[in-house]
Structure formats: C-alpha cells, structure tokens
Chains A and B, each alone.
Chain A
Amino acid sequence: MTDLDTFRLETRAWLEENCPPSMREPVRSDEDVCWGGRNYRPANPEQKQWLDRMATRGWTVPDWPKEYGGGGLSPEETKVLRSEMARIRARNPLNSFGISMLGPALLKYGTEEQKLEHLPPIARGEIRWCQGYSEPNAGSDLAALATSAESDGDDYIVNGQKVWTSYADKADWIFCLVRTSKESKQGGISFLLFDMKTPGVSTKPILLISGYSPFCETFFDNVRVPKRNRVHEENRGWDVAKYLLGHEREMISGMGLASSGRNPLIEGAIATVGLDHDGRLADPLLRAQIAQFEVRAHAFGAMSERFIDELKHGRAHPAQPSMMKYYGTELNKQRHELMMAAGGSDALEWESERSNGGAPARAWLRTKANSIEGGTSEVQLNIVAKRILELPGA
C-alpha cells in the first residue's frame, strides 16, 4: 500500500467520524453556506462544529503551509481529501474570499508579518474579507480605477468609491485596489488591506433583479490606512490584482461543475414532468436539452480536474483560468435556465413557502451575474484569443 493509499484510508475514517450528518446534506439556501467572520451566526451547531474540526486540522485550506493555518498537504493529498469529501457529499466547511482570492495572493506577494497576521484568521474563518476592485467607471477596464491613496507619513489617505463589492456590508476587512500614481495606468495602482470598521468607510447594498443585495457600493472618505498594510511594492498592485483574478476565475468556474450523485436539475424535471413507461423523462425535448447539457457539465468536471492537476504541477497556461471562468459560468447559466424550464410555473413563485421564498427563480437570476463579475465572458474570450491563441491585437 502506498503512502497515498494510507492517507486515503485515514482521511476516509476521520471524515466518517467527524463530518456531522447534516453537513452531508445538499446546500439548499444561502444560510447553509458558512462564510465565517466576526458576525458569523451558525445556521446550526453542527455547521460550527464542522468548521472548527476542519480548521483544527488545517483542512479548510489543506494545501496552505501549516505555519499559516493550513494542512500542509501535497497536491496529491489535497486531491484525495477533496475526493473523499465528495464521496460522502460533505459540504465545504468554509466559503471565503480570503481562501479563494486573498490567501493565494498573500502567499505569493505578502511579507512574513502580513502572512502571519492575516492567513491563520482566514483559515479559521474568523475574519471575512471582501474585494474592492470595480468602480463606477472601471468595470471591464479595471485598470482605469480612480480611488486615490495619498501618502501621509506612514499612512495613506484613501478617497473614492467601489461598486459591486460582494458582501461588503457583512465583511470585516477589504483588499482594495487604489491609485497611488497618475503617471501610468496599470503602473500606478497599489494593493491595500484595511479593516471595514476604519472611520470613513461606509457601504450601501444594491438591490438586484433577484431581490437580494449581495453586492454593495462602498465609499471611502479620508480613510487612514497604514503603509505596512500595502501588499507588494507601491505602484505594483496590478501584479497582485492579476494574480488574484486568476484565482477568482478558478473559483467562479467551479460553479459549472456537475454535481455528483443527486442532481437537482434531473430530480426537478422528474418531479414536474414525470417518467414514461420506458423510464424516460416524459417531455422528450426537455430530456434532450438536459442530456446535452449534462454531457458538457460532466466533460467540464473532467476539465476542472485536469486544470487543477496542471495548476498544482505548474503546467497550466497562465491564461487558462480565463477559459475556465468563461466555460464554467456559461454552463451555470444554462443549468439554471434548464432548472427554470423543468420547474415550470412552480419555479415562478417568488415568495411562497413551497418555493422556499422563490429560491429557484432568485438563484436563476443570480447566475446572470456569473458571466459579468470577475471579468465578463467577452473579456475572458479576448484574453484567450490573445494570450493562448496568440491572435494579433485589434
């Protein structure tokens, strides 16, 4: 038996014993997702228990080094852990922009002090982060951002506005792109970290077509940020931003994955349309559409496995996250279109208890942002065309 086989058996046994039963149920609503943070209120005691048990082993961030709260696992061991979690359908113990976005950037660009200060609280789910990137006049053209950071001794004074800041009203800290020089567009940007409780920071939720307000406008009015909270050199923040966007795209691309086992799309269609005497979905055109979709969703599952393997072994093309983001988000939109078609008029209810407060329709509308946030599909296709296919610039 290889070391990896031993690790698999031990991991399986540990998960069996430590993953509470309710944490093996599918995620049904936003409440079922644990985001951690200072204001975290567990949906139930088992959710907190699961987070703490995993965090104690460093398994909320299995491949981070142990000194920063991680599990210190190799890429192969991490893959085993993920597959063993998938096997018992264990929920992700902690969803976090700190894990998926800031963490990798800090590991690459942060100072030792910054890593020790920020990474362990991320791993334990104690601090919830938000991302201050987009501005009213800097969307797809992100480097046009104007939020300013003026030098004032050991501090910066930050003024300006961000928009589409996910969960800014719930976050404890922000990682934020600011302009420290007007000399150069990309070369005048710096990357700052600060507490959302700092005087001068205010947020205003934006009501979306889904009826939810996951995004905010975030305002900075003479916000004082110590220079030691700047990641990487002054005016080199674009390096960090780009690196981090790659990780954000990875995370968003994960939305297109086919769920293993129980599949809400198929179950939903069977519930509304029924099966014929041959055991086929009684609506043949809907069945065909679902089947064609499932081919792509399963193939994309293989692509995600391949991408992660290539990434961990340093073989992925640096622009491949753009392809993943494009494909995964377009798939996720298709899935929710099909779920609405499968649900029929049941899925149209907006407030009823039966529809869990309009969950299917609201989730469907939410997915429309997938191909906009983190760089639109069109921007991703531009990047693939230029950096991977090496087609000439327009």
Chain B
Amino acid sequence: MPLFLNDEQTMLRDTARDFVADAAPVSHLRSLRDADDPTGFSRDLWKQFAEMGFIGILIPDDQGGLGLGHVEAGVVLEEIGRNLSPSPFLTTAVAAVEALRGTPHAERWFPGIVEGSTVAALAIDERAKHGDGVGLRAERSGNGFRLSGAKQFVTHGHVADLLIVAARTAGSDADEQGVTLFAVEKGAAGLSASPERLTDSSIAARLQFEGVEVTADAVIGEVDAGRDPLNRLLRAGRTGASAEMLGVGAGAMDMTMGYLKERKQFGTVIGSYQALQHRAAHLYSEMEVARAAVLKAQQMLDAAKNDGADENADHAVSVAKAMSGAATTLSVQEGIQMHGGIGMTDEYDIGFYMKRQRVLAEMFGDANYHADRIARMAGY
C-alpha cells in the first residue's frame, strides 16, 4: 500500500474540503464564541455532518456506517482542523466508536451516533497532564458498580449523551491491570459537570462522580480488562487528534505563506527576504514529515484492524502525535511572528489557529508524553 492517499481517499478529501469550508469556516467558530454559545458546537452543523455520511466513517456498513478506516476519518478531521470547525467528530465518531466497536454497546449507541443525535465524551484524564494512571473508583454494588471520583478535560462532557469513563476496579492508581471502561448515560444520579470554556473557545467539563450507580451492562469489554478498549480508544483518539492538528498547522501555514507574498515592507514583499524564506522552507519540511508520520499511523491502524496486531501500530501512533505536535507548534508560532502586529489582533484569524493547536497538542498526551512512550517501548 503506497504511503499517499489513493483515488477514493482523494475524492473524499475534496468533498470534505468543500463541505467543511462552506458549512463551518473560521467565521463559524468566531460567531459561536461571540454569542457565548453554551453548547460548544452547533447541533445543526452536526446533523449536516450526519447527512454527508461522515459521522459513520468508522462504523461498519452492516451497522449503518461507511465501514471505512482511520485514513478516511483523518481526511475529514484534517479539514475540520483547517477550518477550526467546532464539532464532536474526534470524541464521538472516532474515539468513542473505536471503544465501542465489537461490543454489545455498538448496537445500543451506533444508530444515534450515525444520525448525529448522540454525542459522546471521553472521561479519561484525572490530572492536568495526560497520564496512564486511573484513580476514579468503581466498586461492586448489587449487580452493578458505584463510581466515585473526578475527571477533567472532558470535551463536550456537559452536553454528551454518552460518557466513556475509565475507572479502577482493582489495584492502585498506577497499575496497568484492574481498569474497567464504562458507558455512562447522560443524567445519571450523582454525576455533575462543570463546563469550562478553554483558550480555543471550546468547552470541556470537569466531572464529579459521587456514587454514580451503573448496571453491569455498562461495562465495555471485560471487568478489570478495560485497558483493551481504552487503548483502542486512545490509539484512535491520538491518531485523530494528530490529523486534526495537522489541518490546523496546514491552515496556519497557508495563511502565513499567503501573507508573505502580499505584505510589503521596505518597498518589497517580505516573502522575498531570505531570513523568512529559510524559516518558511524549514516549516514546510517539518509539516511534510509530520504528514507522513500521521498517514503511516493511520495506515497501520487500518492494517491492524484486519490482522489484529494493534500493538505494532502503537509506536507509529506515538510518533505521529509527537511529530505533529512539534511541527504544528512551529507552524502557529511562525504564523503569528511572520504576521507581525496584525497576528496579535483578535480580529485576524491566525490567533485562533494558535489556540486550537495548543488544545489539540495537549489532548491524549503532548509531544513529551509520546517521546517518553517511544523511549519506554525501545527499552531505555
């Protein structure tokens, strides 16, 4: 399989590019922010994503989806990133779908997800920095479990119909084993959400679980073996976040290159100065390398789905998240610097790119987390 988009994937990209640029350009994000919208995204827009069939990209065709792979999901995410379009695509159509895939929960939740009426959120993080520990307790209670603890950085957590919750059923916080993944429905007694608007105008909730009762049916996969679906979720989420971030970085870079060709100082366009040309060419190189790393991870995830060797893809996923994080950080930083004063104004869009990139860089582990992970995998 060559490491570039095939003809069908290129067609999908063109369709997604036209659709997202038309339905949810950066001005859409700006208007939601200016209206202090309490949801964090437009439900109308999400319905349009459903009508385009995009939400079901990763859902098998016999369950109402398109039965496509992570390359195709990434194609859509990149356009979402390029337009900074607020949507639950990453949490719902990518991460949650992968967690639920092949479990009884798929039949319960996939129909609503496909038609755009069900939004999912991921209750994974418990600290300001993403890590592997899980401390939220789930204790046996009758036929089910009682969940107690807190989660944070739960994007869409205040409006989600479905929460995917990582909880501890055995052992201590840092243990690899003893984790169970739960599907918790909206409005469960004892569950409270405090929505917080983030730097990029998206909304993430801090969640409190105070003895939230769930039945045994809420378990995703097996009790104490929740790392399997959790790792599926994380691989998909990390790869998806990389793709979306790549779109953010590419959008910022396109704007910056346009500005270099148009802005004049000292009587000539600033893009003719070698000091800026070399930095622009270096940025291009970093972005190209990141793009290759992300596509490699997507292809490996798709190959793994067929032959079941997901762990081989893990390394590629961490390379993709770390590399896309580094390259797009450079892209938004150079974006503001090369725009000069206008880049610092709220009126100009480049600042929105910097804010969104910062949030995606943190999500599911930043570049340092993934570099550390690569080192651990290599035994040093």
Task: List A residues at the B interface (Cβ < 8 Å).
Answer: 76, 263, 266, 269-270, 275, 279-281, 287-288, 290-292, 294-296, 298-300, 302-303, 305-307, 309-310, 312-313, 315, 320, 323, 326-327, 378, 380-382, 384-386, 388-394
With contacts A389-B257, A390-B261 known, what are 14 further pairs, Cβ within 8 A? Answer: A291-B371, A298-B374, A302-B319, A303-B293, A315-B4, A323-B284, A323-B288, A381-B277, A381-B282, A384-B284, A384-B285, A391-B257, A391-B261, A392-B272
User: Which chain B positions have C-beta within 8 A of A391?
Assistant: 257, 260-261, 271-272, 276-277, 280
User: Given the interface contacts A266-B380, A303-B293, does A385 sit within 8 Å of B285 by beta carbon?
Assistant: no
Q: Are B372 and A291 in contact (CB under 8 A)?
A: yes
Min CB–CB distance B191 → chain A (angstroms) = 36
B281 interface contact, C-beta 8 A: yes
Cβ-closest chain B residue relative to A322: B281
* Measured CA separation A298–B2 after assembly (Å): 17
Q: Are B271 and A392 in contact (CB under 8 A)?
A: yes
Q: Are A299 and B3 in contact (CB under 8 A)?
A: no
B290 interface contact, C-beta 8 A: yes
* Measured CA separation A320–B291 after assembly (Å): 14
User: Which chain B positions have C-beta within 8 A of A270?
Assistant: 380
Indicate the member of B274, B293, B374 with the most A CB atoms within 10 Å.
Answer: B293
* Measured CA separation A296–B323 after assembly (Å): 7
Contact of B371 among A266, A288, A326, A390 (CB under 8 A): A288
* Measured CA separation A393–B291 after assembly (Å): 27
* Measured CA separation A309–B293 after assembly (Å): 14
B363 interface contact, C-beta 8 A: no
Q: List 16 A-B contacts (CB under 8 A).
A: A266-B378, A280-B380, A287-B380, A291-B372, A294-B378, A295-B319, A296-B289, A299-B290, A299-B323, A303-B288, A303-B292, A306-B3, A312-B2, A381-B282, A384-B285, A389-B277
Query: Across chains A and B, which 8 residue pairs bring their CB atoms closest together, nearest first?
Result: A385-B277, A384-B281, A299-B293, A302-B296, A309-B2, A303-B292, A299-B323, A306-B3
Interface 0/1 of B343-380, CB less than 8 Å to A: 00000000000000000000000011011101110111
Min CB–CB distance B2 → chain A (angstroms) = 4
* Measured CA separation A386–B367 after assembly (Å): 31
User: Which chain B positions have C-beta within 8 A of A380?
Assistant: 281
* Measured CA separation A178–B160 after assembly (Å): 71
Indicate the member of B271, B296, B319, B326 with the most A CB atoms within 10 Å.
Answer: B319
What's the dominant secondary structure at chain B's contact region?
Answer: helix
* Measured CA separation A298–B323 after assembly (Å): 9
* Measured CA separation A295–B324 after assembly (Å): 10
* Measured CA separation A329–B263 after assembly (Å): 33
Contact of B380 among A269, A312, A388, A390 (CB under 8 A): A269
Cβ-closest chain B residue relative to A266: B380
Q: Are B322 and A295 in contact (CB under 8 A)?
A: yes
* Measured CA separation A320–B292 after assembly (Å): 13
Cβ-closest chain B residue relative to A303: B292
User: Which chain B positions have C-beta within 8 A of A307?
Assistant: 292
Cβ-closest chain A residue relative to B322: A295
Interface size on B, residues (CB 8 A): 45
* Measured CA separation A288–B369 after assembly (Å): 11
User: Which chain B positions have C-beta within 8 A of A310?
Assistant: 2, 4
Q: Are A385 and B278 in contact (CB under 8 A)?
A: yes
User: Which chain A positions have C-beta within 8 A of B281?
Assistant: 323, 326, 380-382, 384-385, 388-389
Indicate the member of B261, B281, B285, B293 with the most A CB atoms within 10 Å.
Answer: B281
Contact of A291 among B257, B278, B375 (CB under 8 A): B375
B68 interface contact, C-beta 8 A: no
* Measured CA separation A269–B295 after assembly (Å): 31
User: Given the interface contacts A291-B374, A295-B374, A303-B293, does A382 sit within 8 Å of B319 by beta carbon?
Assistant: no
User: Which chain A positions have C-beta within 8 A of B274?
Assistant: 382, 394
* Measured CA separation A386–B261 after assembly (Å): 11
User: Which chain A positions have C-beta within 8 A of B260?
Assistant: 391
Contact of A305 among B3, B273, B326 (CB under 8 A): B3
Cβ-closest chain A residue relative to B367: A295
Q: Are A295 and B326 in contact (CB under 8 A)?
A: yes
B269 interface contact, C-beta 8 A: yes
User: Which chain B positions have C-beta within 8 A of A295?
Assistant: 319, 322-323, 326, 367, 370-371, 374
Min CB–CB distance B292 → chain A (angstroms) = 4
Min CB–CB distance A378 → chain B (angstroms) = 7
Indicate the member of B261, B285, B296, B316 with the most A CB atoms within 10 Å.
Answer: B285
Indicate the member of A310, A327, A380, A384 with the most B CB atoms within 10 Å.
Answer: A384
User: Which chain B positions have C-beta within 8 A of A392?
Assistant: 261, 269, 271-272
Cβ-closest chain B residue relative to A315: B4
Cβ-closest chain B residue relative to A280: B380
Indicate the member of A312, A378, A388, A391 with the most B CB atoms within 10 Å.
Answer: A391
Q: Are A385 and B280 in contact (CB under 8 A)?
A: yes
User: Which chain B positions have C-beta within 8 A of A320?
Assistant: 288
User: Which chain A positions have C-beta within 8 A of B285?
Assistant: 323, 326-327, 384
Q: Are A287 and B375 in contact (CB under 8 A)?
A: yes
User: Which chain B positions have C-beta within 8 A of A294?
Assistant: 371, 374-375, 378
User: Which chain B positions have C-beta within 8 A of A382?
Assistant: 274, 277-278, 281
User: Which chain B positions have C-beta within 8 A of A279?
Assistant: 376, 379-380
Cβ-closest chain A residue relative to B325: A295
**CB proximity to A under 8 Å, residues B177-200:** none
